Structure 1
């Protein structure tokens, strides 16, 4: 199968649209979680730790000199980002767990029996013909 044909099938099936919607919603969700962590979760934690602002936590390697900015390791921002990641990962885990549970229910639900394959139909016809001859 050529790459062009495969791409057409991929694009026509709607996977591209689904992917685009997922990326847009994921970006928006990421912003919400970042705001949740930065504006809601971290201030009370900082208050419990004596008025500490995690954004200000850093290790100064070189102070600012003139127009040259300081060089520092901003581990407080890293902590915020790590908490963002953990929240997003947990929510995605819950969504996937819910989807898998719904799939299991669909598979377990009794439905119409599967249609026989061509081989099964042919074997049934042969059996019936043999039964008529006997």
Structure 2
């Protein structure tokens, strides 16, 4: 009878030791994850500062090179006739679909689904890498 009690006591002690070790490992993993998260936040903050600086420089160059206020349009998600497709992409992102109209000239229809401002789907007609027409679909 004493042997069963000793075995039971040993099993309980082993279980307590197992739980203690498991908690210790989990705490260590949690601290490690917290440190990684802190470093990632720092890197994100630095990258955000770099992005803001680059964006400011790009917008300044855009304002110097073009008569239209394209930098303001891009910042506000506005697309206008005559806008280069690079600025269209900066303002609205990449289209969901591009349909080639005329391969030699590069004329295309760009399709956007529910973009930020209007909430409607829009077809953008592109000719020679410039927006020539906007049409709600």
TM-score under structure 2 length normalisation: 0.34
Q: Which structure shows the higher helix fraction?
A: 1
TM-score under structure 1 length normalisation: 0.35
